[in-house]
Structures are given as C-alpha cells and as structure tokens.
Structure 1
Amino acid sequence: MSKLQGRFGPEYWDKYGVYKTPLGFNLTLIVLLRPFLIWLMSALTWRPDLDIMSLFFPSKDNFFIAIGIGSIALLPALVFSMRRPTSTPRWGDIWGYMRWPLLIAALLDLAWLLMQAANGHYQFSFYLASQIVLVSWVLLYLINSRYLTCFFSDWPEPEAK
C-alpha cells in the first residue's frame, strides 16, 4: 500500500490495492504513440488510393522524427505493462519516474508539431491542428493531474507465496 492512498478513496483502488489506471493515462499513451498507430493502420490498409501516412507525415523525415519522439513514450508503456503483483519490485522503483519521459515526449512532440506549422507558413492543416490540440491537452493533463501523482507513486505489493 502506498503512503498516498489516503488521498483518494477505495473506489479508486483495484483488486490488488493499488490505484486503478486512469483513462487519461491510456489516452495519453495513444496520443503520444500515434506515429506507431498511424504506421500500423497504414500497413493494414495497403490501398494505394488511401495514403494515411501522407496525411499526417508529408515526408519520410517527418515520420522518422515522429517515431523517434514517440519512442520516448514506449518506456512508460513497457513499465506499465509490468505493473502487476507478480513483477519484481525493481520495476516499481522505475515506475515512480515514468511521468518524466511522458512529459518530455509531449513537449518534444508539441515543439515538433509547431515547427511543422511554422515551416508550412502557418497554413491551416486539419491533421496538424488536431494533433497540436491533442498534444496540448496531454501536456496539460500530465502537468495538472493530482491523480497521476498518486498513480505513478503506487506499485502492487509482491504476492505472498
């Protein structure tokens, strides 16, 4: 049990006595890992007339930079996948710092999107504008959420054998 568990009541705990995963965290991972998701959707459609990649990434360089920035968010996703009582407690020590890679990825992503908008001489692009809004919301969520502070400081206790 975490020392911060008194901050939010038992309705926020899962069956292992740790804080439930907030929906905002899952949406944050989706937004920050979107280059991988767009790449996957593009690979699954395989229609030459429907080029999803060019809607979001005008050039290969833009795609590779977006993948590089998104890969920073893979580390918290990996550690999150280990968040269970059967995992070693060392993952819990690492988990406490996973807000920082998400913040760094969101800041870099927003900076990259704003640079793309500036390079396009601020011509309106729906796909670019929607990404800027989503990443801005993610950044505000990561900075302002009190529940995330408790969520990142909580790790399941090892199971008794």
Structure 2
Amino acid sequence: MNRYGPEYWDKHGAYRTPLAFHLTLLVLLRSYFIWIIAALSRRPDLDIMSLFFKAKSDFFTAIAIAAIALLPAVIFCLRRPQENAISAKRLASIWRFMRWPLILCAITDLSWLTYQAAHSHYQFSLFLASQMVLVLWVLLYLLKSRYLSVFFNDWPDPIENK
C-alpha cells in the first residue's frame, strides 16, 4: 500500500479527508438534504418535495436507501482526536470497514434508479440520468480510489493528557 507524504496530513497527523469523499456523502445522502431543505422552506405554495419525488413511496424508498450511508457519515463526523483512548480504538476499528456500507448504498441507489427508469419504460429523463451518472461516479470512486483505502485505515491518535 502506498503511503502518502506530509502534505496529505492534517494538524493531528491523520490523513486529510478528500473533497471527493465529501461529495460522495452529499450524493448518497441527497434525499436527506432535500428533506431538510423542504422542511426549512417557509413557503407552503412551493412544494420542493414534488420536484424531486413523484410519490411519497419514492421519497420513503430514497430515505431508506440513504439510511445505509448514515452510519459512515456519523462516524466520519467523529473522526477527530478523542479524549478517551478506548473509544478512539473502538471507533478506529469500526471506521476501517465503513467503505463497505457506502458501496452497498451506492449499488442499492443505482439499482433503485435503474428500476425507476424501467418503470417509466426507459423514457429519457435528465433528472434520472444525471442521478445515475453521479451515483455511478460515486461507486467507481469508492471502488477504485487508492487514497480511500489509506484514508479508511487511518484514525487520529487520542489526545495525550499532560
């Protein structure tokens, strides 16, 4: 496995988070972001949810698929030096395997988008096509990135009390 130099480290000595990983989480959790934006919208005449989802069942399915990526996102938010060495070790052992739920989420999401395209008799939809391209990009990134394999095997060291 290739090791990356100090220019790839943050101030705590852990590998920096790649920008593409943030975009990956944004794509996989897009239904939650749409839901939050719709909830924060104070205009009842503007139905944001109907712009993105044809039916309530489509929304609930998208939320269920994105829920697979919630655990890696939450553990990613905890990826900073911990006070407790035991919890840092436990989180590091969990973090090591968080690439697989993201891959599963991307595969499930791509399958769901393909099902939606088949359900509309493969009539071209720019909205579906752009989502499929984004999710396919995410899947290829998660499978092929060498830096991600190093990133998922790294966890910040616990804070030493002086």
- After TM superposition, the score normalised by the length of structure 1 is 0.92
Partner of 1:120: 120
Partner of 2:132: 132
Q: Distance in 1 between matches of 2:40 and 2:132?
A: 25
Q: Which of 71, 74, 77 lines up with 2:73 in the alignment?
A: 77
Partner of 2:92: 92
1:47-66 paired onto structure 2 within 5 Å: 47-66=43-62
- In the TM superposition, residue 128 of structure 1 has moved relative to its aligned partner by 1.3
Note the alpha carbon deviations across 1:47-92, whole angstroms, 9 max, x for none: 3443221222111111101000101100001111111111522000
Partner of 1:158: 158
Q: Which amino acid aligns with 1:101?
A: P
CA distance 1:121–1:48, shift in 2 (3 Å): farther
Q: Distance in 2 between matches of 1:144 and 1:24?
A: 13
Partner of 1:32: 28
The answer to whether the Cα contact below 8 Å between 1:96 and 1:153 also exists between their aligned partners in 2 is: yes
Q: Give the secondary structure class of the aligned counterpart of 2:140.
A: helix
Structure 2 stretches of 5 or more lacking a match?
none
Q: Give the secondary structure class of the aligned counterpart of 1:43.
A: helix
- In the TM superposition, residue 45 of structure 1 has moved relative to its aligned partner by 2.1
Q: Distance in 1 between matches of 2:97 and 2:142?
A: 13
The answer to whether the Cα contact below 8 Å between 1:55 and 1:127 also exists between their aligned partners in 2 is: no
Which range moves more in the overlay, 122-131 or 111-120?
122-131
Partner of 1:103: 103
Q: Distance in 1 between matches of 2:43 and 2:132?
A: 27
Percent pairwise identity? 61
Structure 1 stretches of 5 or more lacking a match?
none
- Pairwise CA RMSD: 1.3
